[in-house]
Amino acid sequence: MWTNWARTATATPASIARPGSLGEIAETVTDSARAGRRVKVMGSGHSFTSIASADQATAVDLSGWTGIESADRDSGLVTVRGGTTIKQLNAALDRLGLAMTNLGDIDAQTISGAISTGTHGTGAKLGGIATQVTALELVLADGAVVRCSADEHPELFHAGRVGLGALGVIASVTLRCEPAFALVADERPEPLEQVLEQLDDLITGHDHMEFYWFPYGRKALVKRNNRLPLDAPTRPLSPARRYFEYTVMENVALQATCSLGKTVPKLVKPLNRLASTVLSPRNYSDASHRVFVTSRNVRFVESEYAVPRESLADVLHELRALVPTLADPVMLPVEIRVAAADDIWLSTAYQRDSAYFAIHQYLGLPYRDYFAGFEKIVAQVGGRPHWGKMHSLDSTVLRERYPHFDDFRRVRADVDPGRLFTNAYLDQVLGSS
């Protein structure tokens, strides 16, 4: 039995393959095809949807296919195997004096899973992780190993950078990295109304900016991260302070608070208000990946949509009006980030600067009305769901929101005519025909 991190998806694979070479990956694919079994790469299970579900299929575990294959420090081009987690990649790049340009706040995903679902960080001038990809090596349904880039098989490259796992097994990813850099982090609670008044300056005035809105509180936690010169000294949090802030406060204390709210639902609102007031300011600097990434041990369910950046304030206004009408209170905050437009066919930021709203509920608390109401709000501005987060949209609606939706389906039909790599989730979002 396979279960994802959030326990929102389960599957019983027909078999599990653990290939340790490119040849073994291709053999797994062709053997499964001959046996009439579909194939899905398991990844790390950090998607909230069932995008990686291998129910009654061959589940491919790439944990034995990891590491950097090649790295050129001058160009910054690094080729990494598909099963490598972001955490492993960050450590390996650090040893080489290199770094990813931008990251999300979770590092447990594999690099192939992160780009396939459109994982992103925040930054008005920066795109998602997939925008850092310069080439892919895919094992297709017939076992062929194909390299694609802007110059080689360009349509497969446009589709494959955010490919949903629908085109083949990503054997390796070539990324354009850069010299290792440090970030100065400024994290502090501020009145929400003040944040909204300064919104444009916050978005454009910092390399990376995000904020967390606590539904029943008056304050938001604002995080500003800016680059330091390459030769500037850093001021990391002490081990004791880091442990207290991120392990004790953001995990142990949050877990206790959420558990209490789950046991006594009438306490959820006051506990949420309390959470927005007890946060302490933090100002430190450290290697970029140690600032981008935070530990998340409290389990929750999540939905996230990308909306046009100019719609940010309006969507938040509607969301603030929605929450008080819900029969069941919301325990966890809303995370709001931004990203630059890109040219990737199924990227949530395709051809538009975007704002991302990620809404959460503690695992075990009611969430369906909250998520449904949120979907109605973002639908008014053409919201696009994160492929790895919970949503209800199908291919009929998604075709309207992605100009290259049918181009993606055409490329998919070319490389996987028998739908070897499909599952129920992909049938929902891409259509079963």
User: Residue 95 maps to which CATH number?
Assistant: 3.30.465.10
Q: Give pLDDT, residue 427.
A: 98
Give the residue from 158, 179, 200 where a domain finishes: 179
Q: Give pLDDT, residue 250.
A: 80
Residue in the structure block whose two tokens are 């300056």: 201
C-beta separation of 360 from 6 below 8 A: no
CA 273 distance to own-chain centroid: 27
Residue 426 counted as domain residue: no
The verdict on 198 and 136 lying in the same domain is no
Q: 0.85 exceeded by the pTM?
A: yes
Q: Give pLDDT, residue 66.
A: 98
What domain count does the chain have? 3
Each residue's pLDDT expressed in tens, for the chain with a length of 433 residues:
899 999 999 999 999 999 999 999 999 999 999 999 999 999 899 999 999 999 999 999 999 999 999 999 999 999 999 999 999 999 999 999 999 999 999 999 999 999 999 999 999 999 999 999 999 999 999 999 999 999 999 999 999 999 999 999 999 999 999 999 999 999 999 999 999 999 999 999 999 999 999 999 889 999 999 999 888 899 998 888 888 877 887 888 889 999 999 999 999 999 888 877 777 789 999 999 999 998 888 999 999 999 999 999 999 999 999 999 999 999 999 999 999 999 999 999 999 999 999 999 999 999 999 999 999 999 999 999 999 999 999 999 999 999 999 999 999 999 999 999 999 999 999 998 7
User: How many alpha carbons fall within 13 Å on the CB side of residue 96?
Assistant: 25
The verdict on 146 and 212 lying in the same domain is no
The verdict on 228 and 366 lying in the same domain is yes
Element housing 51 (H / E): none
DSSP-derived pairing of the beta strands 58-60 and 15-17: parallel
Domain CATH number, residue 369: 3.40.462.10
What 3-state class would DSSP assign to 228? coil
Burial per residue of 354-375, b for 16 or more beta-carbon CB atoms within 10 angstroms, e otherwise: bbbbbbbbbbebebeebbebbb
Residue 287 counted as domain residue: yes
Residue 396 counted as domain residue: no
Q: Give pLDDT, residue 241.
A: 84
Residue 44 counted as domain residue: yes
Give the residue from 179, 194, 211 where a domain finishes: 179
Residue 402 counted as domain residue: no
The verdict on 44 and 172 lying in the same domain is no
| Helices and strands of the chain, counted as H and E runs | 15, 20
Residue 366 counted as domain residue: yes
The verdict on 164 and 294 lying in the same domain is no
Give the residue from 44, 60, 76 where a domain finishes: 60
Domain CATH number, residue 52: 3.30.43.10
The verdict on 151 and 118 lying in the same domain is yes
Query: 112 is in which domain, residue-wise?
Result: 68-179
Residue 429 counted as domain residue: no
The verdict on 225 and 147 lying in the same domain is no
Residue 422 counted as domain residue: no
The verdict on 115 and 160 lying in the same domain is yes
- Report the candidate in 363, 381, 366 with the shortest Cα–Cα distance to residue 314: 381
The verdict on 97 and 166 lying in the same domain is yes
The verdict on 194 and 175 lying in the same domain is no
The verdict on 115 and 78 lying in the same domain is yes
Instruction: Mark out the alpha helices in 62-146 (DSSP H runs).
Output: 86-96, 111-116
The verdict on 153 and 276 lying in the same domain is no
